[in-house]
Structure 1
Amino acid sequence: MLNEQTILHWFDDVLAFMQHGKLAPWAAVLPQQLQKILQEKEHGDQQRWLDAVAALPEIDQVQADLTAHDLGLHSPVITAEQEQQLHSALRGLMPWRKGPFQFFGTHIDTEWRSDWKWQRVAPHIAPLTNRLVLDVGCGSGYHVWRMLGAGAARVIGIDPSRLFLMQFQAYKKYLQAAGQRADADLLPLKMEDVPANLKAFDTVFSMGVLYHRKSPIEHLQELKDALRPGGELVLETLVIEGALGDVLMPEDRYAMMRNVWFIPSTETLLLWCRRAGFKNARVVDLNQTSLQEQRQTDWMRFNSLADFLDPADVNKTVEGYPAPLRAVIIAEA
């Protein structure tokens, strides 16, 4: 059975990596941050998730492809009994929201086609080869693995969800078994937990986070402080159509989400980036989320985008606001 000490050992490698260089200030406080997080009140499903991770079978001759859209894991010697055990354990880690993943013949069709977002983002960013990367709000780590597959030297993802941590570790277990580089970690933290003024990362991603922050300018400044001078910001967030100065602040919910605060026009968002100190901020992609990109699946059986839009007009949310429109912004620190 997994326990708190077992989970803490998941972070031994990243702690050792952080000990020297610009991440040393984070290494000094990270053990205490992790202890505090793990000792907080547990989610009601946490034991189910821990049991599921513990039930993942050992599999030999693992092959992994971090460049495949489904991050395929394969083995020529997996048995039918192992396949069934694996499928059952992965079911114990539902709901799966970010992906897709392929675990030895078990295809996890996640709520989000995160590979589509990566296809929109990847052509516009600086090559990740040998870069130190931070992925803020990384979910289950799908994009973390794609970043590593794109050549990043190391990727650190942060997301406070305990379920996302378990899903991440499920994939990492088999990547390590494949003998491949697994220089990626998910820390169950928020951006506010990252020490100020690290100025350490070559690239910082923040995708799907800005509109959840009560102070978006503060979030942009936190991202800039994490970047080395000249480092690259990759920002993906909700926007509205409109002119400079236009911002939507929902009365209560937006697309059934309570924690949406500010949705700016693209021109307003670019101004925010400039005011936060970023240079050369530009929009490289604009995309309205489709019912094919975010939807209910057998691996995520709760409400999804179709339930959040006006049934008579998919260009509006159920509250009457413009449907989700997402922009990708690239800028330099």
Structure 2
Amino acid sequence: MIELQPFLTRMARTRLGAWSPALTAASRFRLTEDMHGDLLRWETALAELPNIPVETIQLNSAAVGCQPAQPLAHELAQELREALQRLHPWRKGPFSIHGIDIDTEWRSDWKWQRLANAIAPLDGRLVLDVGCGNGYHGWRMLGAGAELVLGIDPTLLFVMQFLAVNRYLRRDDIAVLPLATTDLPPTLTGFDTVFSMGMLYHRRAPLNHLEELRRLLRPGGQLVLETLVCEGDERQVLVPPDRYAGMRNVWFIPSVAALKIWLQRCGFVGVQVIDISRTTVDEQRTTEWMCFQSLADQLDPANAMLTREGLPAPTRAIVLAERSER
């Protein structure tokens, strides 16, 4: 059973504390229902992580992690590497755990660099990271001064990866719970900042997702939204007929102009675009820590501006907005 109590005890001392019991119950339900075939292997990998004293913790460098007081002996380093490798594939990162560099599929630090200086300062803020994966960005949020970071992601492997990292960082002000937004208490609200990065295009009803995010924020709180976008005016929305870059679960890709309208219609104000970037094969790629196909395999071999399906290659925008007072 994932140990939730240290984080929930910390959360209970904030204005979000009233929802701690409901989050505990929802998490336990999901853990009971999700009988993943690899769960035993992942739990074994966690149990086999060696005990290594931590000398320093790094949250503000590209590779989140920790360093030992002295370099590990070869046998101990190999034991650590093998245990972490059993949690393959590692999608978000990078991490560096006691000298073991986890070169993840995504250079998630690049995305953080694009937004870190543009968002409202996180000092003392209560933060929610929706679809957080293994929690990489949550660690960067803590490094930026957040008081508490709640990450949610229903993929149990990502929860296990977070636990592996936190085995050594030992923080009780961050957690990744095995939940989707639909698992959250319907009355939950009050976050100062809500991140939703790489989620909107996976939702069959994207406006419903934006309304969920608005409810979770306090009035005046900030939404940090990162999503796929297409070119065009406010009427342009790309609807892939089948797969998009190999993914079946991509439903709607709006233009930036359309996305602004969506946000305004859902009760957000002060909408501003802080970055538009084409995703490259340097930012998302296959590594020894993620050995499956990645972006390069999903682009047209003759034209990198197109996916294999003949659709525009991935371009992503980061948009900030505030919850209106109404």
Aligned amino acid, residue 317 of structure 1: T
Question: Which residue number in structure 1 is paired with residue 64 of structure 2?
Answer: 71
Aligned amino acid, residue 189 of structure 1: L
Which of 52, 56, 71 is matched with 1:59 structurally?
Answer: 52
Larger displacement relative to structure 2 (217-226 or 197-206) = 197-206
Aligned amino acid, residue 259 of structure 1: N
Question: Which residue number in structure 1 is paired with residue 80 of structure 2?
Answer: 86
Partners of 1:89 and 1:58 in 2: how far apart?
A: 12
Question: Which residue number in structure 2 is paired with residue 244 of structure 1?
Answer: 234
Q: Does 1:44 align with 2:37?
A: yes
Which of 27, 35, 38 is matched with 1:34 structurally?
Answer: 27
Deviation track 1:176-229 (CA, whole Å, cap 9, x = no partner) reads: 2xxxx5410001100111223433100000000000001111100100100011
Question: Which residue number in structure 2 is paired with residue 169 of structure 1?
Answer: 163
Partners of 2:188 and 2:25 in 1: how far apart?
A: 18
Stretches of structure 2 that go unaligned for 5 or more consecutive residues are: none
Aligned amino acid, residue 31 of structure 1: T
The answer to whether the 8 A contact 1:196-1:226 is kept is no
Matched position secondary structure for 1:99: coil
Question: Which residue number in structure 2 is paired with residue 299 of structure 1?
Answer: 289
Matched position secondary structure for 1:234: strand
Aligned amino acid, residue 113 of structure 1: R
Question: Which residue number in structure 2 is paired with residue 286 of structure 1?
Answer: 276
Q: What RMSD over aligned residues (CA atoms) do the two structures have, in Å?
A: 1.3
Q: Does 1:212 align with 2:202?
A: yes
Partners of 2:289 and 2:21 in 1: how far apart?
A: 38
**Counterparts in 2 of 1:151 and 1:49: CA distance versus 1, 3 Å:** same
Deviation track 1:210-260 (CA, whole Å, cap 9, x = no partner) reads: 000011111001001000110000000000010011101111111110011
Matched position secondary structure for 2:23: helix
Deviation at 1:72, TM superposition (A): 3.5
The answer to whether the 8 A contact 2:10-2:172 is kept is no
The answer to whether the 8 A contact 1:236-1:328 is kept is yes
Deviation at 1:105, TM superposition (A): 1.5
The answer to whether the 8 A contact 2:238-2:254 is kept is yes
Partners of 1:57 and 1:287 in 2: how far apart?
A: 40
The answer to whether the 8 A contact 2:65-2:169 is kept is no
Report the TM-score, using the length of structure 1 for normalisation: 0.94
The answer to whether the 8 A contact 1:111-1:296 is kept is yes
Aligned amino acid, residue 327 of structure 1: A
Which of 144, 149, 155 is matched with 2:149 structurally?
Answer: 155
Q: Does 1:137 align with 2:131?
A: yes
**Counterparts in 2 of 1:61 and 1:100: CA distance versus 1, 3 Å:** closer
The answer to whether the 8 A contact 1:73-1:102 is kept is yes
Q: Does 1:326 align with 2:316?
A: yes
Partners of 1:236 and 1:15 in 2: how far apart?
A: 28
Question: Which residue number in structure 2 is paired with residue 315 of structure 1?
Answer: 305
Aligned amino acid, residue 38 of structure 2: D
Deviation at 1:24, TM superposition (A): 4.0
Number of equivalent positions: 322
Deviation at 1:20, TM superposition (A): 5.6
Matched position secondary structure for 2:64: coil
Which of 92, 100, 108 is matched with 1:106 structurally?
Answer: 100
Aligned amino acid, residue 69 of structure 1: A
The answer to whether the 8 A contact 1:22-1:198 is kept is no
Larger displacement relative to structure 2 (22-31 or 257-266) = 22-31
Deviation at 1:46, TM superposition (A): 1.4
Question: Which residue number in structure 2 is paired with residue 185 of structure 1?
Answer: 175
Report the TM-score, using the length of structure 2 for normalisation: 0.96
The answer to whether the 8 A contact 1:26-1:194 is kept is no
The answer to whether the 8 A contact 1:49-1:163 is kept is yes
Deviation at 1:172, TM superposition (A): 0.7
Aligned structure 1 segments of 4 or more residues deviating by more than 6 angstroms: none
Which of 161, 177, 191 is matched with 1:201 structurally?
Answer: 191
Matched position secondary structure for 1:233: strand
Question: Which residue number in structure 1 is paired with residue 220 of structure 2?
Answer: 230
Stretches of structure 1 that go unaligned for 5 or more consecutive residues are: none
Larger displacement relative to structure 2 (238-247 or 40-49) = 40-49
